[in-house]
C-alpha cells in the first residue's frame, strides 16, 4: 500500500479579490517515500547490494517492488534458478525446429506456456 499526503495552500480569491499584497506562491520541494510491508522492505534491503554491484559493472539495474532487474531482466535468486533450469528445455525445443523462449519464469514453446 502506498500513501501520499499533499499539502495545498490556496489563495482565498473569492473572499478577497485583491491579492496584490500576498507573496506569489513558489513550488515547494516534494519528498515522496514508498511504504512497503515489512517482508517486502527486508527483501528489497537484501537486493540493494546486488543492484549496486551490477551498477558498478556498468549494467542498468533497478528494484521494482521486490524484484531486482538487471539490464531489463528480473533477477531474484529463485527466478534466476528457475530460468537456468528452463534453458536446456528451450534449447532442445529450438533444435526440434520449434519457436521457444523464456519470459520471466515461464517457458513458451510455439506461443504456448509449458508446465514444468
pLDDT given at position 16? 57
With vertex at residue 18, the alpha carbon angle to CA 16 and CA 25, rounded to the nearest 5 degrees, is: 95
In whole angstroms, give the CA distance from residue 93 to residue 109. Answer: 7
In whole angstroms, give the CA distance from residue 78 to residue 2. Answer: 26
pLDDT over threshold 90, residue 22: no
Cα distances from 86 to residues 26, 32, 71, 103, 116, in angstroms, run 55, 39, 20, 11, 8
pLDDT given at position 25? 62
Whether the model pTM is above 0.75 = no
Amino acid at each position: 500500500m502506498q500513501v501520499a499526503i499533499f499539502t495545498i495552500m490556496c489563495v482565498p480569491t473569492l473572499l478577497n479579490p485583491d491579492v496584490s499584497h500576498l507573496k506569489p506562491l513558489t513550488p515547494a520541494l516534494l519528498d515522496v517515500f514508498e511504504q512497503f510491508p515489512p517482508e517486502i522492505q527486508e527483501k528489497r534491503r537484501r537486493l540493494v547490494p546486488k543492484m549496486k554491484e551490477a551498477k558498478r559493472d556498468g549494467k542498468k539495474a533497478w528494484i521494482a517492488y521486490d524484484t531486482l532487474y538487471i539490464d531489463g531482466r528480473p533477477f531474484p535468486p529463485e527466478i534466476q534458478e528457475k530460468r537456468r533450469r528452463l534453458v536446456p528445455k528451450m534449447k532442445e525445443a529450438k533444435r526440434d525446429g520449434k519457436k521457444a523462449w523464456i519470459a520471466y519464469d515461464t517457458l513458451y514453446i510455439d506461443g504456448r506456456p509449458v508446465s514444468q
